Amino acid sequence: MNALNTALQQTAAQETILSLPHQLKAQLPLTYQFAAQIELQRQTIQNILEGKDDRLLVITGPCSIHDVQSALEYAEKIKELQAKVSAQIFLVMRAYIEKPRTTVGWKGFMYDPHLDGSADMQLGLEKSRELYLKIIEMGLPIASEILSPMATAYFDDLLAWGAIGARTSESQIHREISSHMPYSIGFKNGTDGSIQIALDAIQSASNVHQFMGMGQNGMPSILSSKGNPKAHLILRGSNSGPNYQMAEIEKIKAKMKGELPALVIDCSHGNSHKDPMKQPEVLRTIVQERRESLVRGVMLESHLVDGAQKISCDMTYGQSVTDGCLGWEKTQQLLLEMASLLADTESDLKRSA
């Protein structure tokens, strides 16, 4: 018995109790005004995905958030750019606070906000929600990846769009959680290029589920979902090459023998051969082929400064600490160029009608 008590005490010493979802939401509340704003932004995204709104959905931002100040500076730039491209492009800020790791490494701002391995997750939750609220107050919609099932209840009221990564599209719990979320969610094809994984995930997430999860009160609960009609496909390329070109999309259509779900293309990862400087080339091709491909949205990994860096005591402000990103000047130039190209295409369609 003494040995058992000792073991239980050692286990308890390794546990740190976190705020419950409803407690954090009460501490950092979302006002009715901004809740209405998010609902409108979610509907706008859905309208784009359904083809009711002809604009191009562009989800752009750092590979991962690691610094609040640079994230807010980036958000201000996005806000200014949106005013210039609003007729052709709808911008959503990529604000990822969790990062999947192939083996080990820094798991994201929510897990380790100090970037030193101290894993102050309580502070990470607080600072992440606080940052999201500040971005929302700027008028911007937020996108993030759904990674930890335990984290979803802390942020489900704030996101306008979500993604399920290539490593988790096949996960049953991520499909179930997606069926329960109130916003559009994209599933990425597998790292080996498998499209079927994502298509199966879309079908699963579109249906009702009853599953075990954490309720707003923090207790293990049976969650009942209504199914998510807003699930869609994200093409992110694979370890063997890209899949964003029209020829690749036609192959997927042939395999489907019918209509594809709404398409969003990740301009990074396999589609850019993991070279952030190749993202503009990918996006230009997508926009040029958009009339035939009917791609509804794109994703860009972009930050204030080109490239990436290791976490250290002497880091470059505004540069990614995970995947390499396209710097802001190049991002802004690219999106202004694409807005102009989209406007020209729209004019051509009107003249030929």
Q: What is the pTM of this model?
A: 0.94
**pLDDT range class, residue 8, cuts 50, 70, 90:** very low
Q: Which of 149, 188, 178, 153 is nearest to 59 (CA)?
A: 188
User: Percent of the chain having pLDDT more than 90?
Assistant: 86
Q: Which residues pair with 297 in a beta bridge?
A: 57, 264
Q: Which of 275, 234, 267 is nearest to 335 (CA)?
A: 267
Tell me what pLDDT residue 3 has. 53
Does pLDDT of 13 surpass 60? no
Lowest mean pLDDT among 258-262, 268-272, 334-338: 258-262
Does pLDDT of 260 surpass 90? no
Residue partners of 75: CB distance under 8 A and separation at least 6? 93, 134, 135, 138, 140
E-strand ranges in the chain read 56-61, 89-94, 142-145, 161-164, 184-188, 210-214, 220-224, 231-235, 263-266, 297-301
**pLDDT range class, residue 122, cuts 50, 70, 90:** very high
Tell me what pLDDT residue 255 has. 80
- Encode pLDDT of 278-317 as tens digits: 999 999 999 999 999 999 999 999 999 999 999 999 999 9
* Mean pLDDT score across all residues of the chain: 93
Mean per-residue pLDDT, 236-254? 92
- Encode pLDDT of 308-350 as tens digits: 999 999 999 999 999 999 999 999 999 999 999 999 877 666 6
Tell me what pLDDT residue 297 has. 98
Tell me what pLDDT residue 322 has. 97
**pLDDT range class, residue 104, cuts 50, 70, 90:** confident
Q: How many CB atoms are located within 10 Å of the residue 14 CB? A: 6
The answer to whether residues 49 and 230 touch, using CB atoms and an 8 Å cutoff, is yes
Tell me what pLDDT residue 348 has. 66
Q: Which residues pair with 307 in a beta bridge?
A: 325
- Encode pLDDT of 20-45 as tens digits: 999 999 999 999 999 999 999 999 99
Q: CA-based angle 124:127:129, to the nearest 5?
A: 105
Q: How many CB atoms are located within 10 Å of the residue 136 CB? A: 23
- Encode pLDDT of 48-91 as tens digits: 999 999 999 999 999 999 999 999 999 999 999 999 999 999 99
Q: Which residues pair with 162 in a beta bridge?
A: 144, 185
Does pLDDT of 175 surpass 60? yes
All structural domains of the chain = 56-289+297-304+324-332 (3.20.20.70)
Tell me what pLDDT residue 4 has. 45
Mean per-residue pLDDT, 147-173? 96
Does pLDDT of 17 surpass 70? yes
Does pLDDT of 131 surpass 70? yes
